Each structure stands twice: as structure tokens, then as C-alpha cells.
């Protein structure tokens, strides 16, 4: 798209020489940003580069140490998000701000609920929500509770929430990180519809492909410093990556040829129900052998989440077998699976992967706290725990270094993921399950994560990869299993796969294997 | 930033200052009440201070504080492990009654056997009271706060029922149990009390309280059990994913918390009560434990200090009528202190003004995360 809706004479957002300090640490060091009416402007930077800090200042969550913010040409001091909302700015956060036990409708209208007298008018609210979701083509179940719906669905609710508030300027923080390729295409179409309407969109991302596909301009930030603002048409993905990371980045994963060994994971005729009690995995068969990566490609909601939950022991299935090295772990506890060789990188790293209040060193021993040398006669041994953490921080490049005593919640998303990977890889189990392992990570971090996953394969472990990123599935997998409607409908060698065929099969069409 | 706001920041970020400030405000509000009633603030607070600073007065304070400390530890332990033990009251009552039964019925046993036996009975009773509630929660998902409140009343009437059984009931006219055997008493010898100038109920319960403080701290901070319970309390999903048995942990946490509350009941009985009256209303030791845990920031050593502070208020408060001030003034002060401590939640919300989402997906409030996250980068 070629800036066809951009009105270069009407800047809606101007951030001038923004500096934000936290103590000695400079998170934003003189950043400039101008966004025009009808423009999609990408903010590109690594995890922790200061993108979110910048946007949090625009949204009134943080106050700049110095610098000015102008909205529609008027200088505005944002004290709270309320000020930003009043100025027509809406923000969709990377980590969702949803109330889990409330329904989709209740979450979307929260704070602006329609009322009849003093009563809450839920019927109207529901009608409005359905209307707006249809208008923007984001289908949702207005009556589902947030805690029961997938991460992808929650993301949609967040986007709808901002739209519902009638924001003219939308800030989207990593909006596509949990969407399927089809959904991303839809979202980009929605974004184009919005700018056509005269709205402006700021999109925080580190996905270069999406920037190329959707944005007009891109501002690059590296380690808190303003690098450049570029016209997206005039640069390619390699230029963007180099500007973001400050070095050349390889996108290709090096994977030596090897012959897979014995079967480690053997799932036979698996059935299970979803949260509504409806069968979602319907007689699924799957095998993963030593030294191979099997990627599960599929659209969110076709049973892959539940499949992993059953294998890891978090969900009870209704029928079937899950053999790990010949031991049936079906309907056993997570601890039982772990003992028999299952380790996993969970989809929701903050819910299942980490205890955010715990220090990094305590998180690193989550499955091993009862073992030597981390404890002796049920007393934790601080020194081995800390030194193990220091080693892991060094080896897995968890930043900042020397942070073993800090709560995991204070790390950036990419570094939280590295903590989980450090733990699971070092557990050294025969089977590694990784679910969306690079969700929300920048290219630098993705490189690391992919390297560790491939390393496990090369060491002769069996790896089951579930990801909504087709690129990831295609570049890592030795075998791609396509899941549709609770079954594996096709199993093809990774080298022979192409995006179109996979997309078709994921939607239930195409050839069967 | 304005001066007022940075003050708010300091108070909401530093727990210790916040609590000192809350205590100060409590006394300030108490002073307002006194002034409105036309009483001398100086005389009342002077009396409060002089009554607890004498040797005898201070020994009273220590005696008073023992059950508050241990009940406070019970609640603090539950806070740390993610269950809210509002049932400490009932566990205290059953613990105290279990100790009384042993102390009366097995009164002939020698001291070194009888006293530990009373403790064990009390802790077992409190633990069982906690486990029942935990079982209701883990088996059928019954909200533990509701069932605990009901179990407080069941304990209340159970205690009154047992006090009426002939073998337990006082031989005299008193509506109470018999006195426990002297062999179950923790009092110092009369001669020692006299020569040391202590209060008549001076006993070695405080040593048990201090030992429990250290033990609770050790369990929470240093053991695998504490690790497990804290993990479940802080993110049960990750704990389960990591292979910890969540339901068993909840039961264990409630059992330990209940055992502590039960022990508090035994210490109160064997240190100063000597017998259990037929209650007309809940005595509130367990509820006081909540206050003490709050003031002590759920830190075992904080609870120890908070328990002594609370004991001082209770004892000193009982002397206020000597200067014509109502003893209820203490309740006003305590209520205000708790109010201002609880208000920290409001401070935080004032700063964030965001709907609080699920803590796991949202990682505390947004501003804090953003600051820490960006602040942690180098």
C-alpha cells in the first residue's frame, strides 16, 4: 500500500525529543515521532529497546522526563490513560488487560457500559459488540468468558475494546503475535479500512514482514536511542533488521541432515473435550521420533492447545493413549509426565511458564527444587541454586546479567522466555514440546530460541513444535503435521511444504496424506 | 512532580514507612476522639505509655502478646501461601479446647509429658479444622473464606458444648471448664515471679512464640515445602505445570496455618487463661491474628514485633479507664491503623487507574511492569 490515505499536512501525533529516565537508566533518549492522519506507522526495535516505554508515555501511563507530546497540533500533558482516551488515543497492550471471569461483551463495554436508568443494559451492550465485531470483521463469541477463550481470541477482544471506544489513533502493541497467518491478513485488511476512514495507527512490532505489508513509515529505536524514520517502500527486510539489531541477522536456520531414531512420543486415537465440553480432539494420531522436529501447523482452535495440554497432563482426555518412550502418560499428572521424559515450553509463559513473583533462580528450579544439589533433606541450598542461575543467565544470554535474585516479572518478554528455555532444555528430557516459543520476541531473540530448539533435535531429542507462525513451522520442522478439526489431516516432509498448500490444508481443503 | 505526589510514592513503595505512618495516624485519630470527648490526650496516652513501660507492665505486655504473635504467624503463613485463613478464630478455639481437655482429663501426667501433649492436641485440632475447609475447597471448590467463617461458629458452639460436658465442666458455679491441671500450666514459679517483680501470669509462652517465629521463617524461606507452597500461592498454574500437586499444597498450607492458630489457643489457655469460659461472643484472638499479620507485613519477624505492639495496646488500653478514658479507644486506634494499612491497595490503584486484570497475564499493574521492564534493560 502506497501511503494512499496519508495526509502529510495533518500530523495527529508529534512526540518531540522525548527523554525518559528510570533512575540512572535512560529508556528513551531523545526520541522523535510524527504520525499523520491516515497513516500506519510502525515502531521497530528489539525487546527492551524502549518501544513500549515510548508508547506508554503517549498513552499516559508514564510521564516523560523531558520532551513534548502534541496531539492534533496541541500540546497535551498526559497524566493518566483517561487523558489519552479523551484525546482520541486507544491502546491495545501486548499483555492483555482483560478481566478473566467476565464475558467478552462485559470486557469490551467496561467503563462505558450502556445503561437503562440505573440498570446495566446488557442486551444493548451485546448488540453493540456484535455490530462492531461484524463491522471490522473480527468474529467473536460475545458470551464466552475470557478465561475460557484462546490467546488469539483474547487479542481480538482487546482490539475490539479499543475500537469500541471510538479511538482515532490506535496504538497496537505486538498485535499480531498470537494470530494465525490468515488472521494477520485479516487484521492488515482491517487496519487499511481504518486508515481509509481517516484513523491513524501506530503498530509496535518486530515482525519485518508485517511492516513491509502494512506500514507507511517506520521509526527504528535501538537501546533507547532514535535511529531513523524510514519510508517503508524504500527499504527491504534486511535493511530494517540491520537497523534494529545493529548487526546483520541471519533468517535461515542451519539444520544438518540426520536420520531420525526411535519413536519417543506416540499419540494414539486421542480424544478430549474443550472448556465447553465439546469434543475438540477427535481421534488424533501423532508420532515424534528421536532427532526430529515435528511441527503442528493449524489455525488456533483446531485442537492443538488441548492436544498439548493432554500430553503435558494439564487436561484430562476422554480416550486414547499418549506413550512417551513406551510409558503411557495419558491422564496422569504433569509431574508424572515430567518424570517419564516430557518437558515443555508452554504457550502462555506468564501463566504456565513462570512464577512471576519468584526470582529467576527460583524459577529455574521449578521442577527440580526437591533434587540435589538444590535441596538437601528438604532444605533449599541457596548457593547451588544461585550458581546454577548465574550459569544459565550466562549460557542462555538472559539479560540483564547478574539478575538471578530479581523477580521474573521484571524481565522483558524475550528474557522471560529465555529463562523457561534454559530450564526446559537443561532438564534434558527426551521430549521437548514447544508451543509458540517465539511469540512476541524480536528477531535477535528468535534466532536464539530457534537455535536451542534445533540443538535439542541435533542432540537426538524428539521435538514437538506447535506454532501459529507458519514461517517458523516451515523453517524448523522435519515433518509438518497439519491439524484440522481435531485430527492430523496431512503429514508432509518439511522440505516439500509450501505456504499455499499448508494454508489450504489448515483450512480443511487440499490434498490429504 | 508535586511534593504531595512524591510523598505518596514513598509511602506506597516503602512498606515499613507506610506501616509506621498508619500507626501514627491511628493514634492521631484516637487523639481527635479524646479531644472531642473533652479528655486530656496527654493523660490518656501518658497512661498508655507508663502502664506498659514498667517491669511488671511490660511482663503483662509479653504475656498478652503470645497468642497474638502465634495467631499472627498463622495468618501470615496463610498469606504467604496464597490462602486467606480467616478461620484462625475457629482454629484457635478448637485448639484451646483440645488443650483444655487434655489438660483436665490427663492432669496426672508429669509436666514434661503433659505440656507437649497439650500442644500436640491443640495443633492437631487446629490443623483438622483447617484441613476440613481445605478439603471442601479442593474437592468441591467451596470458597474457603465462606466455609471458614461458618467453621468459626461451629468451633464456637462446639467449644461451648464441650465446656458443658460434666467431665469437663467446672465443679463450682462458674460457666466455664474446670481449671487445667497445674502440670499443664506454663506459669513461672510463684517465687521467681515475686523475686523478678513480674506479673502474676508471667509464663514462658513467649519462648514458644519466638521459636515458632523462627520456625515459620525457616519453613517459608528455606525449605522445599515453603518453595512449593509459595509457588502455588503465587501462580498455581505454573506450579502445576512444574509438577507440584496444587491441591495437596493448599491442604498442607491450611493444615500448618490451622496448627499454628490451634497452638496459639493452647498458649493462651496454658499461659494465662487456665480455663475456658462458656463464650457469649467470639473472643477474637484469631481475628486479631489477621490484624497482627497485616501490621507485620506477613513477615514472621514483623509479626513478632507487631504481636508485641498489639499486646501493648491491649494491656495498656485496659488501664485507660483509670484516667477516665474509655478502653474502647484502643479499638478505634487499631481500627484506624488497619484501615490505613489496607488503604495501600487504594494508593496503588490511585497510581494506576487501570482495571486490574488477571495477575498472571498482566504482571501486576501496567505502569509498574513498564518501569521495571524498561528499567531492567541494559
Contact flag A350-B363 (C-beta cutoff 8 Å): yes
Cα–Cα distance for residue pair A453/A433, rounded to 1 Å: 10
Quick one: closest CA in B to A372, which residue?
Answer: B224
In a domain, B17, yes or no: no
DSSP per residue over B116-158, as a string? Answer: HHHHHHHHHHHHHHHHHHHHHHHHH---HHHHHHHHHHHHHHH
Quick one: closest CA in A to B369, which residue?
Answer: A410
pLDDT at A119: 79
pLDDT at A251: 65
In a domain, B288, yes or no: yes
Contact flag B238-A355 (C-beta cutoff 8 Å): yes
Integer CA distances (angstroms), B365 to A95, A410, A415, B44, in order: 11, 12, 19, 43
Contact flag A366-B231 (C-beta cutoff 8 Å): yes
Confidence of residue A441 (pLDDT cuts 50, 70, 90): confident
CATH code of the domain containing B195: 1.10.3470
pLDDT at A154: 82
Bridge partners of A120? A115
Confidence of residue B339 (pLDDT cuts 50, 70, 90): confident
Confidence of residue B373 (pLDDT cuts 50, 70, 90): very low
* Average pLDDT, integer, range B229-241: 90
Within 286-305 of A, beta carbons closer than 8 Å to B belong to none
Return the minimum-mean-pLDDT range out of A19-28, A220-229, A338-347, A365-374. A19-28
pLDDT at A249: 67
pLDDT at A228: 92
* Average pLDDT, integer, range A485-499: 90
CB-based contact, B373 to chain A, within 8 Å? yes
Q: Helix (H) and strand (E) counts for chain B? A: 18, 0
In a domain, B15, yes or no: no
Domain extent at residue B228: 57-325
List, in order, residues 6 or more apart from A33 with CB less than 8 Å away.
Answer: A13, A14, A15, A18, A41, A43, A54, A219, A229
pLDDT at A198: 82
- Judge whether residue B1 has pLDDT over 60: no
pLDDT at A254: 77
Contact flag A48-B373 (C-beta cutoff 8 Å): yes
Domains identified in chain B, total number = 1
Quick one: closest CA in B to A147, which residue?
Answer: B358
pLDDT at B324: 82
Cα–Cα distance for residue pair A187/A92, rounded to 1 Å: 13
Bridge partners of A22? A25
- Judge whether residue A342 has pLDDT over 60: yes
- Judge whether residue B220 has pLDDT over 60: yes
CA distance to partner chain A, nearest, from residue B202 (Å): 36
Q: Residue A70, Cβ neighbours under 10 Å: how many? A: 15
CB-based contact, B363 to chain A, within 8 Å? yes
CB-based contact, B35 to chain A, within 8 Å? no
* Average pLDDT, integer, range A22-27: 80
A119 compared with B132, residue with greater pLDDT: B132
Confidence of residue B374 (pLDDT cuts 50, 70, 90): very low
| Mean pLDDT of all residues belonging to chain B | 86
- Judge whether residue B217 has pLDDT over 80: yes
Which residue from A22, A52, A99 is facing B375, i.e. has the nearest CB? A22
Confidence of residue A258 (pLDDT cuts 50, 70, 90): confident
Which H helix or E strand runs over A286?
strand A279-289
Q: Which residues of B touch A334 (CB under 8 A)?
A: 240-243
CA distance to partner chain B, nearest, from residue A1 (Å): 33
Give the DSSP letter of residue A485: T
Return the minimum-mean-pLDDT range out of A42-46, A58-62, B350-354. B350-354
Residue A480 C-alpha cell reads as: 509438518
* Average pLDDT, integer, range A112-137: 83
- Judge whether residue B121 has pLDDT over 90: yes
Residue A204 C-alpha cell reads as: 509496535
pLDDT at A4: 81
| Mean pLDDT of all residues belonging to chain A | 87
Residue A165 C-alpha cell reads as: 471506544
In a domain, B176, yes or no: yes
In a domain, B247, yes or no: yes
ipTM: 0.74
* Average pLDDT, integer, range B45-66: 92
- Judge whether residue B310 has pLDDT over 70: yes
Which residue from A22, A344, A358 is facing B371, i.e. has the nearest CB? A22
What percentage of chain A reaches a pLDDT higher than 70? Answer: 97
Task: Select the highest-mean-pLDDT range: A109-118, A272-281, B1-10.
Answer: A272-281
* Average pLDDT, integer, range A174-181: 72
Contact flag B238-A366 (C-beta cutoff 8 Å): yes
Which residue from A53, A351, A406 is facing B238, i.e. has the nearest CB? A351
- Judge whether residue B262 has pLDDT over 70: yes
B39 compared with A267, residue with greater pLDDT: A267
In a domain, B191, yes or no: yes
Give pairs for B129-133: CB < 8 Å, separation 24+.
B129/B87, B129/B90, B129/B91, B129/B94, B129/B155, B129/B258, B129/B262, B130/B85, B130/B87, B130/B91, B130/B254, B130/B255, B130/B256, B130/B257, B130/B258, B130/B259, B130/B261, B131/B251, B131/B254, B131/B255, B131/B258, B133/B87, B133/B254
Q: Testing the interface with A: which of B1, B143, B370 to mutate, by most A Cβ within 10 A?
A: B370
- Judge whether residue A290 has pLDDT over 90: yes
Q: Which residues of A touch B241 (CB under 8 A)?
A: 312, 314, 334, 344, 346, 352-353
Which H helix or E strand runs over A21?
strand A7-22
Phi, psi of A210 (to 5 degrees): -70, -35
Which H helix or E strand runs over A493?
strand A487-493
pLDDT at B372: 43
Go through the domains of chain A in sequence order and give each one's CATH number. Answer: 7-245 (3.40.50.300), 250-341+431-513 (3.40.50.300), 350-428 (no CATH)
CB-based contact, B2 to chain A, within 8 Å? no
Residue found under cell 478430549: A272
In a domain, B197, yes or no: yes
Residue B262 C-alpha cell reads as: 490451634
Within 235-274 of B, beta carbons closer than 8 Å to A belong to 235, 237-245
CA distance to partner chain B, nearest, from residue A484 (Å): 26
Confidence of residue B153 (pLDDT cuts 50, 70, 90): very high
What percentage of chain A reaches a pLDDT higher than 90? Answer: 44
Mark out the alpha helices in B197-284 (DSSP H runs). 205-222, 224-234, 236-241, 246-268
In a domain, B88, yes or no: yes
Among residues B295, B314, B291, which one has the least CA distance to residue B305?
A: B295
Amino acid at each position: 500500500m502506497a501511503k494512499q490515505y496519508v495526509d502529510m499536512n495533518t500530523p495527529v501525533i508529534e512526540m518531540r525529543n522525548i527523554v525518559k529516565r528510570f533512575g540512572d537508566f535512560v529508556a528513551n533518549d531523545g526520541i522523535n515521532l510524527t504520525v499523520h492522519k491516515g497513516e500506519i506507522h510502525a515502531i521497530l526495535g528489539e525487546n527492551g529497546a524502549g518501544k513500549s516505554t515510548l508508547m506508554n508515555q503517549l498513552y499516559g501511563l508514564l510521564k516523560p522526563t523531558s520532551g513534548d507530546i502534541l496531539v492534533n497540533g496541541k500540546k497535551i500533558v498526559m497524566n493518566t490513560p483517561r487523558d489519552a482516551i479523551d484525546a482520541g488515543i486507544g491502546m491495545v497492550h501486548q499483555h492483555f488487560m482483560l478481566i478473566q471471569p467476565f464475558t467478552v461483551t462485559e470486557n469490551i463495554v467496561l467503563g462505558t457500559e450502556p445503561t437503562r436508568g440505573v440498570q446495566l443494559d446488557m442486551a444493548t451492550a451485546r448488540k453493540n459488540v456484535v455490530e462492531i465485531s461484524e463491522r471490522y470483521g473480527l468474529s467473536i463469541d460475545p458470551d464466552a468468558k475470557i478465561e475460557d477463550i484462546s490467546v488469539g481470541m483474547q487479542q481480538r477482544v482487546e482490539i475490539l475494546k479499543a475500537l469500541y471506544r471510538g479511538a482515532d489513533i490506535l496504538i497496537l502493541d505486538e498485535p499480531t503475535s498470537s494470530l494465525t497467518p490468515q488472521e494477520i491478513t485479516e487484521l492488515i485488511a482491517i487496519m487499511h479500512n481504518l486508515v481509509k476512514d481517516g484513523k491513524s495507527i501506530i503498530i509496535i512490532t518486530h515482525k519485518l514482514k508485517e511492516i513491509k505489508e502494512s506500514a507507511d513509515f517506520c521509526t527504528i529505536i535501538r537501546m533507547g536511542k532514535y535511529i531513523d524514520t524510514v519510508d517503508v517502500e524504500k527499504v527491504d527486510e534486511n535493511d530494517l533488521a540491520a537497523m534494529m539489531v545493529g548487526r546483520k541477522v541471519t533468517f535461515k536456520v542451519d539444520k544438518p541432515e540426520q536420520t531420525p531414531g526411535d519413536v519417543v512420543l506416540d499419540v494414539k486415537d486421542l480424544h478430549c473435550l474443550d472448556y465447553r465440553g465439546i469434543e475438540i480432539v477427535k481421534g488424533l494420531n501423532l508420532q515424534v521420533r528421536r532427532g526430529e522436529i515435528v511441527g503442528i501447523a493449524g489455525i488456533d482452535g483446531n485442537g492443538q492447545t488441548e492436544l498439548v495440554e493432554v500430553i503435558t497432563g494439564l487436561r484430562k482426555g476422554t480416550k486414547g493413549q499418549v506413550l512417551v518412550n513406551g510409558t503411557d502418560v495419558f491422564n496422569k499428572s504433569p509431574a508424572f509426565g515430567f518424570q517419564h521424559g516430557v518437558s515443555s515450553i508452554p504457550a502462555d509463559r506468564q501463566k504456565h511458564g513462570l512464577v512471576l513473583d519468584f526470582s529467576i533462580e527460583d524459577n529455574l528450579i521449578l521442577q527440580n527444587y526437591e533434587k540435589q544439589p538444590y535441596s538437601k533433606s528438604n532444605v533449599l541450598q541457596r548457593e547451588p541454586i544461585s550458581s546454577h542461575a548465574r550459569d544459565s543467565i550466562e549460557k542462555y544470554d538472559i539479560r540483564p546479567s547478574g539478575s538471578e535474585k530479581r523477580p521474573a516479572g521484571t524481565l522483558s518478554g524475550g528474557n522471560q522466555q529465555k529463562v523457561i528455555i534454559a530450564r526446559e532444555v537443561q532438564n534434558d528430557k527426551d521430549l521437548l514440546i514447544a508451543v509458540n516459543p517465539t511469540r512476541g520476541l524480536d528477531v535477535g531473540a528468535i534466532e536464539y530460541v530457534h537455535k536451542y530448539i534445533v540443538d535439542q533435535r541435533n542432540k537426538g531429542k524428539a521435538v514437538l513444535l506447535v506454532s501459529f507462525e507458519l514461517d517458523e513451522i516451515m523453517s524448523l520442522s522435519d515433518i509438518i503435521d497439519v491439524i484440522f478439526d481435531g485430527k492430523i489431516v496431512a503429514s508432509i516432509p518439511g522440505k516439500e511444504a509450501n505456504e499455499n498448500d499448508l494454508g489450504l490444508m489448515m483450512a480443511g481443503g487440499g490434498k490429504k496424506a | 512532580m508535586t511534593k504531595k505526589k512524591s510523598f505518596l510514592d514513598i509511602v506506597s513503595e516503602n512498606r515499613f514507612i507506610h506501616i509506621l505512618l498508619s500507626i501514627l495516624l491511628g493514634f492521631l485519630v484516637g487523639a481527635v476522639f479524646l479531644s472531642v470527648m473533652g479528655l486530656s490526650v496527654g493523660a490518656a496516652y501518658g497512661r498508655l505509655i507508663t502502664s506498659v513501660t514498667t517491669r511488671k507492665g511490660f511482663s503483662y505486655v509479653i504475656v498478652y502478646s503470645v497468642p497474638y504473635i502465634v495467631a499472627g504467624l498463622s495468618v501470615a503463613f496463610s498469606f504467604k501461601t496464597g490462602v486467606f485463613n480467616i478461620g484462625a478464630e475457629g482454629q484457635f478455639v478448637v485448639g484451646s479446647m483440645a488443650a483444655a481437655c487434655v489438660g483436665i482429663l490427663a492432669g496426672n501426667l508429669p509436666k514434661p509429658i503433659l505440656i507437649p501433649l497439650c500442644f500436640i492436641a491443640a495443633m492437631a485440632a487446629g490443623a483438622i479444622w483447617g484441613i476440613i475447609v481445605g478439603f471442601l475447597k479442593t474437592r468441591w471448590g467451596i470458597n474457603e473464606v465462606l466455609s471458614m467463617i461458618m467453621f468459626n461458629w461451629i468451633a464456637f458452639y462446639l467449644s461451648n458444648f464441650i465446656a458443658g460436658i460434666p467431665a469437663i465442666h467446672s465443679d463450682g458455679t462458674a460457666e466455664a471448664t474446670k481449671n487445667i491441671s497445674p502440670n499443664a500450666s506454663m506459669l513461672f514459679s510463684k517465687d521467681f515471679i515475686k523475686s523478678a517483680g513480674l506479673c502474676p501470669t508471667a509464663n514462658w509462652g513467649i519462648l514458644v512464640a519466638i521459636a515458632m517465629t523462627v520456625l515459620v521463617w525457616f519453613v517459608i524461606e528455606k525449605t522445599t515445602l515453603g518453595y512449593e507452597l509459595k509457588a502455588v500461592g503465587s501462580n498455581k498454574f505454573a506450579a502445576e505445570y512444574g509438577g507440584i500437586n496444587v491441591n495437596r499444597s493448599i491442604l498442607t498450607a491450611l493444615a500448618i496455618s490451622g496448627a499454628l492458630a490451634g497452638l496459639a489457643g493452647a498458649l493462651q489457655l496454658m499461659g494465662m487463661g487456665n480455663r475456658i469460659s462458656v463464650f457469649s461472643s467470639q473472643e477474637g484472638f484469631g481475628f486479631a491474628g489477621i490484624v497482627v499479620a497485616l501490621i507485620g507485613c506477613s513477615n514472621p519477624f514483623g509479626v513478632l514485633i507487631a504481636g508485641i505492639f498489639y499486646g501493648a495496646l491491649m494491656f495498656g488500653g485496659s488501664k485507660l479507664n483509670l484516667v477516665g478514658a474509655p478502653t474502647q479507644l484502643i479499638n478505634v486506634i487499631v481500627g484506624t491503623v488497619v484501615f490505613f494499612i489496607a488503604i495501600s491497595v487504594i494508593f496503588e490503584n490511585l497510581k494506576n487507574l487501570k482495571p486490574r486484570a488477571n495477575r498472571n497475564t498482566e504482571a501486576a499493574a501496567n505502569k509498574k511492569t513498564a518501569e521495571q521492564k524498561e528499567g531492567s534493560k541494559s
